[in-house]
Chains A and B, each alone.
Chain A
């Protein structure tokens, strides 16, 4: 992580940190006493939390049309209410509440419409009826390796043939491909039958209800059992070309890594750069999990941060202007999102980075914290099912930890530390403070070894992440560059594997919490935060009492850091 410039947009350290703190000051109206809850980004948090609440509400009460109507009414109402700096606080509060209401209703509308569509699926209705169904669909996400050498594949089914009639539909269904079915797939294929995202399959199967599913259909409700695959075809449609191209890149990178490195390191590199964990040996995967380094072996927001940081630094060195920088950044984000198959955490980081880059281009945009909140709003409205994706939840929790807890933690560290090290440690501890309780709540497991492992491992992770992406980008065109990148990444990988093995072997490294104790870490962290907030009224504002606003200074500071933000430079505190 030391490689990440601390002001990097997607790593999320507030690019607009200084002006954000000044935001509530320069406003006309009655002076606002900074309360304990006067986090200047509280409104952003309110927006994100309201949207999430709306999604939950819509999932629980799927009243599709009613929610849509409510959304439209609230949109009209909130646009109609007068609101300005001069208006009384009451009408400003009403306008704010209307906006929140709109988001609540919109989240509920999106989720309830999705839930209704999922429940009304042809396949879902057919579960339990004996007999075979013929269907066609496209692979929706990267097939996941499961036990016994099989793969779990999620299809987006778009055609179903029942009782002699073909129906068009769109629903997700999962299937387990055992060895023999993979052999069937691989017959006559060059690449050993590996299924890629977007490939189309036509098959016959019988239907069963999935053991675990979520109402918004991210985890399919229907499992296709005993599939007989009849046809396999490459991706088609508008996205098909991009998918085929990125599959070429992924395949070339995999081969290059396997040809250059020892298998377990090749597997780790493929995981860190592309999110492709299929080459990781099972025992290494277990060790990483036990060491609390799971986020390293798959792609995460940190990948995007590293790649974006390096790319923008290069562009900055080459003398690109603000807009060129933003364009380069957006192109990098889109490429990485497609090549890593839009993992929820990469999506989160991508939207966030996009918002911050928009700020870089226009000189006006959200800071890191606000960008996270807006990214959550945008993504949940676009795909409410993300709310149920563990990768998304963890990613948001960890980023929030980095953004809100990182800076104060870094301030508490002993003064002797170099600033970069302090920032990195603060970010790591902040992320751990939110990610560990979240993981404990979901899995009931706490990795005590996670803290030392992350402190040691994170600084090393940037290297392979960046070199892996370089290797992937060059593998199809200049294999020798890719080989070189793999060799350069090798020492990092050796060290990471050693750290994971060491941390996993620590006594009491991983503790399993029973039942209600799972909430323990979350409660502990909350209590600690409350105590801290009580002791210092506001840990976020350096000056609890407002100094008179100094527009000159604010504007200069803002401009200054914006101009220098991505390529280098340190945000003036």
Chain B
């Protein structure tokens, strides 16, 4: 290489720069490998970070996703795969029933009584309706008064579904006659009145009003949205979560 013209840059300057960069120049193969590795790692990070739907095949293999009962609506196999996978891969560390009742992976057990063909305990997938419970109990008898029951209500674990006959008195509202300890149909957060909410433990008139104000702004989709209501903290939520529901 010919020396650079003196008017362009004096040679001394280059020698000083090259002295400074001598090591850098010698390490260029290592630096090239490092740079390529950095680009590869960055690409890998990017691919993993890019959000995408969990496909049907990988649901059970990857597991541990949020359980997914409703994914079945679009693609039954995907939903079931994820459910089965997460139920196996994530054994419940804390054997508390509260997590179980709010966990969407579970099945519910309900006691269907009254005017059905085969009264007794039936087990159904979570999210089933009263209609499904009646069907599982062999169907309503001809004398059943199905208008007195809300067939569309979602079932909760451990409740009793009583199908009245024509002569039976109408079922009492849950807050009135329920003996303490018996699971009754929980309050629906989206439809309960202020007075009904008022009966919940730890919920006064003010909090009930706030719950109603919250749901007029954005209707509840899950029970734990109660935590978003001002005045309901973690402890109160723990008391409430089994007593309310969202349909």
Interface residues of A (CB under 8 A from B): 23-24, 27, 29-30, 32, 35, 37-38, 41-44, 46-47, 64, 68, 71-72, 74-75, 78-79, 83, 87-93, 95-100, 102-103, 105-107, 109-110, 113-114, 116-118, 120-122, 130-132, 134-136, 158-161, 164-171, 178, 180-181, 184-189, 200, 202, 204, 206, 226, 228, 230-234, 236, 370, 377-378, 381-382
Q: Is the CB of A381 within 8 A of B35?
A: yes
A132→B246 CA distance, assembly (Å): 13
**Which B219-243 residues sit within 8 Å CB-CB of chain A?**
221-222, 224-225, 227-228, 233-235, 237-238
Q: How close is B57's CB to chain A, nearest CB, in angstroms? A: 13
Complex Cα distance A37/B24, Å? 16
How many whole Å from A100's CB to the nearest CB in chain B? 6
Q: A88-B1, A160-B51, A230-B103 are in contact. Are A106 and B38 (CB under 8 A)?
A: yes
Q: How long is the Cα–Cα vector from A107 to B35 in the complex, in angstroms?
A: 8
Q: Is the CB of B19 within 8 A of A24?
A: yes
A105-B35, A117-B50 known; A236-B18 Cβ under 8 A: no
Does A100 lie within 8 Å of B51, measured CB to CB?
no
Rounded to whole angstroms, the CA-CA distance of A110 and B11 in the bound complex is 36
Please pick, from A72, A105, A106, A167, the residue contacting B53 in the complex, using a CB distance under 8 A: A167
Nearest CB on A from B219, distance (A)? 10
Is residue B29 within 8 Å, beta carbon to beta carbon, of the partner chain? yes
| Residue B89 lies at the interface, judged by CB distance under 8 Å to chain A | yes
Contact, CB under 8 Å: A236 / B64: yes
Smallest beta-carbon distance B235→chain A, Å: 6
The residue that B94 contacts in the complex, of A43, A120, A168, A187, with Cβ under 8 A, is A187
Interface string of B207-221 (1 = CB under 8 A from A): 000000000011001
B39 and A90 form a contact (CB under 8 A): no
Q: How far is the CA of A105 from the CA of B49 in the complex (A)?
A: 22
A180 touching B18 by the CB < 8 A rule? no
CB of B174 within 8 Å of the partner chain: no
CA distance A166 to B67 in the complex (A): 9
Q: Is B176 located at the chain interface by the 8 A CB criterion?
A: no
Would you call A381 and B54 a contact (CB within 8 A)?
Answer: no
Complex interface: chain A residues within 8 A of B71 (CB): 164-166
B96 at interface, CB cutoff 8 A: yes
Query: Quick one: given A47-B24, A169-B51, are A135 and B66 in contact (CB under 8 Å)?
Result: yes
Closest residue of A by beta carbon distance from B102: A230
Question: For B28, B31, B53, B99, which residue has the most chain A Cβ atoms within 10 angstroms?
Answer: B31
Known: A99-B31, A169-B51. 5 other contacts (CB 8 A): A74-B35, A79-B28, A102-B28, A186-B94, A232-B94
Q: Interface residues of B toward A: which range?
A: 35 or more
Name 13 interchain pairs, CB-CB below 8 A, sorted by A: A83-B28, A90-B11, A92-B25, A93-B18, A96-B25, A99-B31, A113-B42, A159-B65, A184-B238, A185-B94, A226-B234, A228-B224, A233-B93
A27 to B100, CA, bound (A): 73
B234 CB, min distance to chain A CBs, angstroms: 4
> Which one of A27, A30, A109, A168 has the greatest number of beta carbons of chain B within 10 Å?
A168
CB distance A132 to B66 under 8 Å? no
Interfacial chain B residues near A189, Cβ < 8 Å? 93-94
The answer to the question of B152 belonging to the interface, with a C-beta cut-off of 8 Å to chain A, is no
A residues less than 8 Å from B3 (CB atoms): 88, 90
Quote the shortest CB–CB distance from A549 to chain B (angstroms): 15
Contacts of B38 in A (CB 8 A): 71, 106-107, 109-110, 381-382
Chain A residues contacting B89 (CB-CB under 8 Å) are 233, 236
B1-56: which residues lie under 8 A (CB-CB) from chain A?
A: 1, 3-4, 11, 14-29, 31-32, 34-39, 41-43, 45-46, 48-54
Whether B82 pairs with A202 at a CB distance below 8 angstroms is no
